[in-house]
A and B are shown apart, each in its own frame.
Chain A
Amino acid sequence: DAGITQSPRHKVTETGTPVTLRCHQTENHRYMYWYRQDPGHGLRLIHYSYGVKDTDKGEVSDGYSVSRSKTEDFLLTLESATSSQTSVYFCAISQEGLNYEQYFGPGTRLTVT
C-alpha cells in the first residue's frame, strides 16, 4: 500500500473556526491533491500541488487554502469553517505520467456545527 496518511481522521468543529487537515506521504510523489466527497457529487477537486510551493485551484476552491512546504506534506486549511464544508476529505498522490494512478489516503470526516 502507498504510504499516505491523513490527520485527523475525524473532526467536529464550530462554524467560524479555522481548521487544518494534514496529508503526509512517504512515496516522494510529485503530485498531491485534496478532494471533498459529498453524496451525489462524487469526488470534487479542491486544490492540488505539483511540487513544493507549487499549487493550483480545483473546481471547488472557494473557502479553502493549501500549502506545501515539503514534498511529503500537503496542508488544507479552512480559514473560517462553514456548515457547507461538512464533508469527507480525501488526499491523493500521484507520480507524473498519464499511466500513473492516484493513491488515496483514508479520508477525514469533518463536521462543522
Chain B
Amino acid sequence: AQKITQTQPGMFVQEKEAVTLDCTYDTSDPSYGLFWYKQPSSGEMIFLIYQGSYDQQNATEGRYSLNFQKARKSANLVISASQLGDSAMYFCAMREETGNQFYFGTGTSLTVIP
C-alpha cells in the first residue's frame, strides 16, 4: 500500500485565490511527521512546512498552512493568496518513528493563472 497518496496530478488556481493540495497517508505508527516540499521548474527541492502527529494545532508558515485531520489521515496543504511564483510541483512526505525513511507522494503540479 502507498504510504503517501496525492490524488491531484495537476491543479490550476487564479492568482490571489487560495488553493488546497490534497495528501493522505497510511501508517500504524503513533508518532510520525508530515512534510510538504515545493519543486519549482528549476528543480531544487524546497521545504515548506512540517506537522507532527501529536501537534494540537495546524502548522502555519506564512501563506502556507497544513490542514491536519488525524482521524482521516489527511494532511492537506493550503496556499493562501496564490502568486505566480507558486507555480511548481508540490510533494507531501511522511517520516515514521519506527524507521529512518521519508515516504513521498507522486506530487501535484500547481499552475497559477494571472
Contacts and interface: CB of A to CB of B under 8 A. Distances in A.
Interface of A: 31, 33, 35, 40-45, 48, 50, 56, 58, 88, 90, 92, 94, 96, 98-99, 101-104, 106-107
Contacts of A43: 91, 104
Counting chain B residues whose Cβ lies within 8 A of the other chain, the interface size class is: 20 to 34
20 contacts: A33-B101, A33-B102, A35-B104, A42-B104, A42-B106, A43-B91, A56-B100, A58-B101, A92-B102, A96-B100, A98-B32, A98-B52, A101-B35, A101-B47, A101-B50, A103-B47, A104-B44, A106-B44, A107-B43, A107-B44
B88 to A, nearest CB: 14
Contact of A104 (B45, B105, B106): B45
A50 B100 CA distance: 8
Contacts, number: 54
Interface in B76-114: 91, 93, 95, 97, 100-102, 104-107
A35 to B, nearest CB: 8
A102 B52 contact: no
